[in-house]
Amino acid sequence: EADIYQTPRYLVIGTGKKITLECSQTMGHDKMYWYQQDPGMELHLIHYSYGVNSTEKGDLSSESTVSRIRTEHFPLTLESARPSHTSQYLCASSRHGGHEQFFGPGTRLTVL
Amino acid sequence: AQSVTQLGSHVSVSEGALVLLRCNYSSSVPPYLFWYVQYPNQGLQLLLKYTSAATLVKGINGFEAEFKKSETSFHLTKPSAHMSDAAEYFCAVTQAWSGGYNKLIFGAGTRLAVHP
């Protein structure tokens, strides 16, 4: 079944640790996105990718980085986590020319 | 640039009552419009979408929305609320960007509470 996956679903980590949030999709979509969402708040685009080897920063400045080495995989990395990074991170994808985005279940990150 | 305004950050209805969640958009071109639902600790699930076909769009779980160009609105309705409808609802509009990338502009969300 075509879908979009995120791991881990929940992560509690100490300040200064390096973390990678995983996102994979099996729909063959070219475009992938990362959003940050604070509890009860709107979504803010932090990264997106048109395809392999393409990454761009979104509207909200983020200290995270992303990579797109394979079409299906779009991991997000924080080199040194801080409490201000505590949030929910949502990954999404869309096909080329498509307008709707398909979302993963999210990763809720807590940095102590 | 496109923008989305959702009137009412919190809406509370009784079970069985009409649900009405309001969304107004601004767009310089014919828009593509979406309603997404987010249950606690979940990602966003597409409820329905308007893509310039029929102005009345039917979605999942008994929801529907009507595109009104003259009012620049895309309000979400459901005739009879169910307890399981309690969630956060986001309205979104597409904004065309370069490279074939269509950016989704989200509203701030409306939290729907359903009480017995």
SS (H, E, C) chain A: CCCEEEECCEEEECCCCCEEEEEEECCCCCEEEEEEECCCCCEEEEEEECCCCCCEECCCCCCCEECCCECCECCEEECCCCHHHCEEEEEEEECCCCCCCEECCCEEEEEC
Structure tokens at B66: 């009507």
In chain A, what residues touch B107 (CB-CB under 8 Å)?
Answer: 42
User: Closest residue of A to B48, CA-based?
Assistant: A100
Question: How far does the CA of residue A2 sit from the closest CA of chain B (Å)?
Answer: 15
Tens-digit pLDDT string for chain A (112 aa): 669 999 999 999 999 999 999 999 999 999 999 999 987 788 899 999 999 999 999 888 888 999 999 999 999 999 999 999 999 999 999 987 778 899 999 999 999 9
Q: Which pLDDT tens digit goes with each residue over B3-58?
A: 899 999 999 999 999 999 999 998 777 778 999 999 988 889 999 999 877 889 99
Q: Output the pLDDT for position B97.
A: 64
- The CA dihedral of A26, A32, A37, A40, to the nearest 10 degrees, is -60
User: What φ, ψ does residue B98 adopt, rounded to 5°?
Assistant: -75, 160
Kindly tell me the burial class for residue A32, based on how many C-beta atoms sit within 10 Å of its own C-beta (0-12, 13-18, 19 or more). buried
Of B45, B51, B90, the CB nearest to A99: B51
CB proximity under 8 Å: B 61-80 to A = none
**CA proximity to B110, closest of B3, B11, B4:** B11
Q: Output the pLDDT for position B83.
A: 96
- Work out the pLDDT band at B98, boundaries 50, 70, 90: low
Question: How far does the CA of residue A7 sit from the closest CA of chain B (Å)?
Answer: 13
